[in-house]
Structure 1
Amino acid sequence: MGSKKIVYLDQNKWVEILKAQKSGTDSSLLEAVATLRKAVQSGSVIVPLAAGHYLETWHRSNWESRHDLAQVMRDLSQFSTLAPVQRVQRWEIDLALIYCLGFESGGAEPREIQKKILGRGVNHAFASPTGRLRLVSSVATDDAPEGEPLEPESQLLDLLEKVRALPNDAYEWWSLAGNTNDSMIHKDWDTRGQHRIGETYAMQERALSDHLIVIPGGKGRLDDLIAAQDLAEISEDVNEAAAEIGLDPLNVYGKLVQMGGPEAVKGFLRAMPSVAVRYEARRLKHRNHQWPWQQHDHIDLAALSVAVPYADIVVTERQWAHLFKVAKLDRRFNTRVISRLRDLPKILDD
């Protein structure tokens, strides 16, 4: 992505950096961090945050712990951010309709996505004028799901604009770290909802794994089942994209049937980089029952679905790094995917 290298760090890698800095005993890790910091200061490397980093950092209820971690993130990222997967996916669908299915349209080019991936600040990370604040009519409880999404009122948008204008990136810092002496537990606020959403996601994936075990030929049908799920998940965006270029959405699905049904669907999904990452990761993880689904997998995949195709270096958990290499996604996107921060200096020198 241009002359600057994009280095994406999973949330647990940021935590590793904080622990190393506090202990001062892991010399090889501290050396890697110093090399990365020097590269950021020279302008040769960008270390962006993703929406998941904001969500996971806010899950730290102790404000001092949260601020310690946020300071590390602020200093290295300088509040550079990646666009969220739902926005990137929508851009990619436009191109897949043209280049994979052969529908005609003007103006959509792959390089335009590259230009829009990287931005600055929490509003870019969430593709929202309210940043990480998601407005709903009521927060979820043990007995009821959250209410319907709400559009922000003009007074709120005006207030946020004023806050964004405050000096020293005060709005960006609050969005990542919250306030001093703030436990982040407020009436009518749900600051840790991602864990609940992630656990629901993990339960659904576990149920799929169990289903595949008991049905005849389940493992052989795995790829088709996941492809069908992924197509259903992006169907609203597909319908919208088709309508924007003057297509009846039914023509898209008819073309997929005409081109070979399940195999054409998988080809269509693989034509969209962020969707391809999620599809490959899910199908390969389901093939290995020794890697159970966890609540944080949902947020990991949302960020990695953008990072793997569009960053130059991705430092993630060993499990994900292995799956991406098995799927040859690192080769397809020319992305170095590693699991050890200590390996960064050598790669940055390449």
Structure 2
Amino acid sequence: MATPLPLMVYLDLNHWYALGDALAGKPQNPDHVTALKQLQGHVERGEVMFPLSTVHYMELTENPRDAHRERAADAMALLSRFVTMAPGSKILDEELALELNRRLGRPAFPKKVTKFGIGVGFAFGEAKRMVLTGITEENRQELETGLGMSVSEFEASANATTEYWVLRGPPGTLRSAIENYDPYAARRVADDQLASFSVMINTLRTVPEVARRPMDAIVARQLSFDIIDNYTRALMSAGFVKQGPFHSRDDRTSFLMALPSRKVVTMMHFHYLKDVHRNWTINDLRDIAALSIAIPYCDVVVTDKKAWDTVVNRAHLDKEFSTPIFSSLTDLAKHLAV
């Protein structure tokens, strides 16, 4: 009998903070101590993995509170073991190629993307690991004798240490002293993305004709702006150089909604935009980006209450993708105990 694959469980960063506090002996909720112990047991038995995303790295790096970063990094090192999710852009490339092939038979051999790997490099699309090279067998034996461990064990230890410190980041007292270290570089990119997204929000709120067709505006923005580079690249690789294959609004909408990650983004945008008084933030866009990969490709998702209400009670994405979605560590622990 084949060994069951471990469940991939995605945790929103606020739950990593909670687990970090529990691990440090300062739980936000007494139940978190029990949950942490249970989750650790699942990981040690190889039953569950807790992959990290690019959003985890960006948001944790931007947190100026050293103690919060350290506690979260400790929990992540313990439970994730630095398993990471592929970046959304790479997964989108696969989704586009597969759907073009399904509908039109082109490209003939659509690309496949590995969804889970190891380390921050994999999460950002450049899988790099420290490996000792250029040593002779004699050098290897001498090194192993001196280290008291095999070279492969040393490489694993060095990589784990590097991964941990990437998550934890340098303390605040050193940040300004490290040349070219900029913990807010991604935040400035996100500021520009939010400003651009706000143009659509304002249009939907002020132009009645567009407000009556919010889904059209969401789809049009994605194809013409949000995923334009991936979409153009996919069409060209499929041989559509001069003219795209979709000529009607319904065709374009149908195509976009067939892409798993885009279905999540579209439906979350649609339901969030119903609240005309909502003050959109960078965290909203980042949460949606992370969930667009987690919900279709992980086995279980634990997000915050606001996102949970949207994806479960309004968009019903848990049923769409057969992915249990929760908003608390206690509910996750109960689910995994069944």
TM-score, with structure 2 as normaliser: 0.82
**Paired position in structure 2 for 1:6:** 8
For 2:205, which of 213, 222, 229 is the aligned residue? 213
CA distance in 2, matches of 1:214, 1:168: 52
Q: Secondary structure at the match of 1:324?
A: helix
CA distance in 1, matches of 2:44, 2:156: 25
For 2:246, which of 256, 260, 279 is the aligned residue? 256
Q: Deviations over 1:3-59 (max 9, x none)?
A: 211110011111122234442462222222221111111100000111111111111
**Paired position in structure 1 for 2:19:** 17
**Paired position in structure 2 for 1:336:** 324
For 1:28, which of 22, 26, 31 is the aligned residue? 31
What is the deviation of 1:78? 0.3
- Give the direction of change, closer, same or farther, for the CA distance of 1:284–1:25 in structure 2 (3 Å limit): closer
What is the deviation of 1:235? 2.6
CA distance in 2, matches of 1:213, 1:167: 52
**Paired position in structure 1 for 2:236:** 243
Q: Check the 8 A contact 2:301/2:324 in 1, yes or no.
A: yes
Q: Secondary structure at the match of 1:23?
A: coil
Q: Check the 8 A contact 2:50/2:80 in 1, yes or no.
A: yes
- AA matched with 1:172: E
Are positions 1:78 and 2:71 aligned together?
no
CA distance in 2, matches of 1:165, 1:345: 30
What is the deviation of 1:90? 0.8
- Give the direction of change, closer, same or farther, for the CA distance of 1:168–1:84 in structure 2 (3 Å limit): closer
Q: Check the 8 A contact 2:119/2:163 in 1, yes or no.
A: yes
What is the correspondence of 1:286-325 to structure 2 with a 5 Å cutoff?
Answer: 286-325=273-312
What is the correspondence of 1:41-190 to structure 2 with a 5 Å cutoff?
Answer: 41-99=44-102, 101-108=103-110, 112-113=112-113, 116-128=114-126, 167=158, 169-179=160-170, 183-185=174-176, 186-190=178-182
Q: Deviations over 1:90-139 (max 9, x none)?
A: 1111001112x323343338xx54xx1011111110002579xxxxxxxx
CA distance in 1, matches of 2:184, 2:290: 17
What is the deviation of 1:330? 1.3
- AA matched with 1:98: N
Q: Check the 8 A contact 1:164/1:170 in 2, yes or no.
A: no
Which region of structure 1 is more displaced relative to structure 2, 262-271 or 286-295?
286-295
- Give the direction of change, closer, same or farther, for the CA distance of 1:200–1:67 in structure 2 (3 Å limit): same
What is the deviation of 1:70? 0.8
Q: Secondary structure at the match of 1:169?
A: helix
- AA matched with 1:31: T
What is the deviation of 1:82? 0.3
**Paired position in structure 2 for 1:271:** 258
CA distance in 1, matches of 2:289, 2:277: 22
Q: Secondary structure at the match of 2:246?
A: helix
What is the deviation of 1:174? 2.5
CA distance in 1, matches of 2:49, 2:78: 11
Q: Secondary structure at the match of 2:287?
A: helix
Q: Check the 8 A contact 1:195/1:296 in 2, yes or no.
A: no
Q: Which of the pair has more CA radius of gyration?
A: 2
- AA matched with 1:248: F
Indicate the structure whose relative CO is greater, using CA pairs within 8 Å and at least 6 residues apart.
Answer: 1
CA distance in 2, matches of 1:164, 1:96: 40
- Give the direction of change, closer, same or farther, for the CA distance of 1:291–1:42 in structure 2 (3 Å limit): farther
- AA matched with 1:49: L
Instruction: Could you tell me which runs of 5 or more consecutive residues in structure 2 were left unpaired when the two chains were aligned.
Output: 130-153
- AA matched with 1:324: V
What is the deviation of 1:331? 1.2
What is the deviation of 1:180? 5.8
* Coordinate RMSD, CA, aligned: 2.4
Q: Secondary structure at the match of 1:167?
A: helix
- AA matched with 1:196: R
What is the deviation of 1:168? 5.6
- AA matched with 1:343: D
Q: Check the 8 A contact 1:47/1:77 in 2, yes or no.
A: yes
Q: Give the share of equivalent positions with the same residue, in percent.
A: 27
- Give the direction of change, closer, same or farther, for the CA distance of 1:234–1:210 in structure 2 (3 Å limit): closer
CA distance in 1, matches of 2:209, 2:203: 11
Q: Check the 8 A contact 1:59/1:192 in 2, yes or no.
A: yes
**Paired position in structure 1 for 2:191:** 199
What is the deviation of 1:290? 4.5
- AA matched with 1:88: I
